Each structure stands twice: as C-alpha cells, then as structure tokens.
Amino acid sequence: MTIFINTGFIRAALCRLATEWAGDAGFLKRLAFQMRRPHLRGDTIAVRGRVARKWRDGDNGAVDLDVWIENPRDGVATPGRATIYLPSRTT
C-alpha cells in the first residue's frame, strides 16, 4: 500500500481551479467529480478545465466547466464538471 491524495485535497484543487477562473464576482454553484484512478505520492498532477457550455439564468450568466486532474501515469484520472454563476456584464 502507498500514500495517495485524498478526496478532500482533490475537491479543494478542483474548487480552487473553478473559483480562480470565476474571480471574486463568480459563484461556484455545483461541483461533481469521479475518482477513477488514484494520484500517488510522487505524481506530478495537473488541474485543468475548459468551458463546456454558457447560458443565461435570469439576470446572471451561467457556465458549465469540464474540469479534471491528470497525472503522467494515467492521464485524466479525476474527471468532473462545475457550474459557475457570473454577474451579467453591463453594456
């Protein structure tokens, strides 16, 4: 048995990605992820994301992000999705 990155760290890393992307005015509404493969001691992980969908929800904008954590051994080991609410831009 070896040391692995736990669920709390994985959640925190994905939340950090989403909230840093959204900025101070954004709100992380939802985060879901699957821990398909472990990240082990010595792994160099990368936390990444991309915009999957944009839409309006009332007066606010909403964005779904595909988010994931990858490692060199398994590639994408932790896929997920986040929903962010953003304030509308004034035009």
- pLDDT tens for 29-52 read 999 999 999 998 889 999 999 999
Cα–Cα distance between 90 and 54 in angstroms, integer? Answer: 17
Residue 33's SS3 state is strand
Taking 80 as the threshold, does the pLDDT of residue 90 lie above it?
no
- Which tokens in the block code for residue 51? 């915009």
Residue 24's SS3 state is coil
- Which tokens in the block code for residue 36? 């398909």
- Which tokens in the block code for residue 45? 């992980």
The overall average pLDDT reported for the chain is: 93
pLDDT score of 1: 58
Cα–Cα distance between 48 and 59 in angstroms, integer? Answer: 28
What pTM did the predictor assign?
Answer: 0.90
Domains and CATH numbers, the chain: 7-87 (3.10.129.10)
